[in-house]
Amino acid sequence: MHELIIVLIMGNTLLIFFMVKYMVVPKRIEILPKLLAEGNLQGVIKSALAIIARQPTSVEAHYYLGMAYLAEKRYSTALIELKFVSQMGVMGRAIPEIDFRQTMAQLFMRCNQPEEAIKEYLLLIRLAPERAEFYYQAGKLFIERNRLDTAKQYLYKAVELDPHDSRFHCELGSLLYQEHQTQEAKIELERAIQTSQHNGQAYFYLGKLLKDAQDYATALQTFEQALQSKEYRIKALIERGICYIALDAMDKAVFELELVIKTLGDETHPDSLYARYFLGACYERFNQIDKAIAQWDKIYAIKQHFHDVGNKLVQYADYRYDILKDYLNYGEKDFLALCKDMVSKGMGFTVQDTRAIPNGSELLVIEGNALKHESNRDAYRLIRFYRIQELVHEQLVYTMLADLKRQNIHQGIIITNSGFAKDAIDYAKARSVELMDKDKLITLLQKVQ
């Protein structure tokens, strides 16, 4: 009798458990969209995980969990949950499929999975063939995959469905420009600007069309409009520099191109390399070859096969040699006189003493007026010129520092026709020795030439 009672109690307990389980789970699912709308992301995550623990295949729970992760910008985690939803299917569920597919496409793009994003947009086009946005996004992705003919088809369809969206005309016009379909590109880019006065991309590519047609004055005005766009500002500055070169306006070209380099602050950035390349072309056009070589040298040090920079340096090798010829070939007496000229005329120091050292010279100098500062050791500098083919290493820097200390001089300068090894550069950092390489030496030589 007791055993029967125990069995009945256990049976009732299990029955109550399963009744509670299957009554509570739906209730918790119903509260998830409300929590999400309220921004209670932790509430969504906690509740959704509890539901999934009891019912692992709950598509709705995975969906709202993924949406909560997405709101927290945990993109890869969100993608895992939403991919599960996609695999299980959303048909017949309280999940808006078009919104869901858009979210999936954007997540795939953010997680660098463009092929999956394309699949989502193609599915969206089948679900809502009247939505121009989906054709536009698919077209952009096909451009990234270099499937340009397919991209044009989708962009033309986007323009057909919604001729009032500036983005659609702009993307199509930019693609047509790259395909050298000049007239068609001009039409689309002008339409893009007519529908939006703030489309930097449209102004940029229209400016390039005008520049290619040698209408430089109008191109400059168009590129000026592109400067308002953060995305196209740097590229527009480069193009304006090129226009000024074509117009023989050297000072303006130099200003625009140097502004690019200064703004970027990163010598390795591709746009910085392009700016230096055209800056070199500008100096070459105006026969300032030394300055052109200085720009090409900087590019070559970062990327040796950048356009024809290597060929340019070979082409002007003799000119470079002429600049350094006296420096490298003078006898000791004339070399000391040349170094004295560079220090006094090129650097503004007063020379107190000069002497020959192995492979170079050493000068003791004073800043500015010698009579005024002669008793102040802080005004003294020790400058060493080297004539060597190999890079200067840290040993020469160490020797300079030791001699500075011995002579109670606070600042030294090493100047060489070659360059500095990394160990020398690293050792000189935060120490009282300035390193001046071949480019700076050439500048000094030009001042006394």
Question: What is residue 247's predicted lDDT score, i.e. its pLDDT?
Answer: 96
Tens digit of each residue's pLDDT (9 = 90 or more) over 365-398: 998 765 555 667 788 999 999 998 789 999 999 9
Question: What is residue 318's predicted lDDT score, i.e. its pLDDT?
Answer: 64
pLDDT lower than 50: segments of the chain: 4-9, 11-26
Q: Which CATH architecture has domain 21-95?
A: Alpha Horseshoe (1.25)
Superfamily grouping for domain 239-315: Tetratricopeptide repeat domain (1.25.40.10)
- CA–CA separation, 78 vs 72, rounded Å? 9
Question: What is residue 2's predicted lDDT score, i.e. its pLDDT?
Answer: 52
Within this chain, domains 21-95 and 239-315 share the same CATH topology: yes
**DSSP, res 109:** H
Question: What is residue 26's predicted lDDT score, i.e. its pLDDT?
Answer: 45
CB 155 within 8 A of CB 187: no
Domain ranges of the chain: 21-95, 239-315, 330-448
Question: What is residue 407's predicted lDDT score, i.e. its pLDDT?
Answer: 93
Token digits for 247? 């117009």
Tens digit of each residue's pLDDT (9 = 90 or more) over 308-351: 999 998 888 766 677 787 888 899 999 999 999 999 999 999 99
Question: What is residue 22's predicted lDDT score, i.e. its pLDDT?
Answer: 42
Instruction: Give, rounded to a whole angstrom, the gap between the first and last alpha carbons of the chain.
Output: 119
- CA–CA separation, 90 vs 5, rounded Å? 46
Question: What is residue 374's predicted lDDT score, i.e. its pLDDT?
Answer: 63
Tens digit of each residue's pLDDT (9 = 90 or more) over 255-286: 999 999 999 989 999 999 999 999 999 999 88
From the candidate CATH numbers 3.40.1350.10, 3.40.1360.10, 1.10.240.10, 3.40.50.450, the one assigned to the domain spanning 330-448:
3.40.1350.10
Token pair 């200003």 is found at 255
Question: What is residue 390's predicted lDDT score, i.e. its pLDDT?
Answer: 86
Question: What is residue 140's predicted lDDT score, i.e. its pLDDT?
Answer: 96
